[in-house]
Amino acid sequence: MEGLLTYISIATMMVVIPGADTMLLVKNTLSYGPKAGRYTVLGMATGLTFWTVIAILGLSVVIAKSVFLFSTIKYLGAAYLIYLGIKSIFAKSVFSLEEIKSQANTLTNSSTHHNRESFMQALLSNVLNPKTVLVYITIMPQFIDLNENVNQQLFMLAAILTSLAVLWFLTLVGIIDYAKKWLNSPKFQKVFQKSTGLILVGFGVKTGI
């Protein structure tokens, strides 16, 4: 396979450039802690794995060529991002660390709920993202040698993309959690939560256009 380093460079840029996944990760990590952030990363990785399986089965090309299927995924994804954004805008302010510590018993059950919710949000956000399909049918094929096993190459390229995404977002979780010591002001969290919501709505509108 030729141009592997070029592909890695392109994949890295795709991962690092802020998008809906980044905003979702920042929101969940700041709101519910680093564990929720890691569950968000797991959801993202699962969503990418889903599209890898779809691509290997050859369905990604079918979806991309079907106006109805592609449009359905596109608008469902847009609607979901807008839903997450509106939910964030109107959500109650997150607890401060002091409030969380004073409610330790409640936190255990609540934490499990938030972790599960963070995972599902990231999973659905990726599964319903039509741009993921385009990555598989426009960028990856440029680095595939048709004289070799196409599925193996596709799997390797997808694994590289997923691994880069996981490494970057896990690093981002650590950075956010470290910075949270200075960003734990309820006022900041309230403004950030609503700003994140507006940005997610913006990504949703952009996805639907």
Q: Where are the domains of the chain?
A: 21-208
Q: What is the pLDDT of residues 90-111, one digit of tens each?
A: 765 544 444 444 443 444 456 7
pLDDT of residue 31: 81
pLDDT value of position 99:
44
**Residue 2 has what DSSP assignment?**
-
Q: What is the DSSP letter of 140?
A: G
- Supply 97's token pair: 């660390």
Distance CA 189, CA 11 (A): 32
> In the structure, what pLDDT confidence band is assigned to residue 133 with cuts at 50, 70 and 90?
confident
Output the six-digit token pair for 209. 């256009």
Percent of the chain with pLDDT over 90: 16
Q: Give the DSSP H or E segment for 146.
A: none
Using the predicted structure, report yes or no on whether residue 67 has a pLDDT greater than 80. Answer: no
pLDDT class for 37, splitting at 50, 70, 90? very high
Helix H segments across 142-185?
A: 150-179
Whether 71 has a pLDDT exceeding 70, the answer reads: yes
Nearest CA to 129 among 24, 37, 30?
Answer: 24
Provide the whole-model pTM: 0.70
Least confident of 46-60, 64-78, 121-135: 64-78
Let me know if 149 is exposed, middle or buried by CB neighbors in 10 A (0-12, 13-18, 19+): exposed
The tally of CA atoms less than 13 A away on the side-chain side of residue 97 is: 9
Contact 30, 180 (CB under 8 A): yes
The arithmetic mean of pLDDT across residues 71-92, rounded, is: 73
**What pLDDT digit, counting tens, does each position of 54-65 carry?**
888 886 677 667
Best CA proximity match to 93, nearest among 32, 26, 41? 32
Place 208 in a pLDDT band, splitting at 50, 70 and 90. low
Better pLDDT: 104 or 186: 186
Q: With bands split at pLDDT 50, 70 and 90, how would you rate the model's confidence at 43?
A: very high
pLDDT at residue 160, rounded to an integer: 93
Q: d(Cα 66, Cα 43) in Å, to the nearest integer?
A: 26
Angle of CA points 72, 116, 80, to nearest 5°: 25
More confident residue, 9 or 199: 9
The full DSSP string for 177-190 is HHHTTTS--HHHHH
- Quote the pLDDT of residue 195: 75
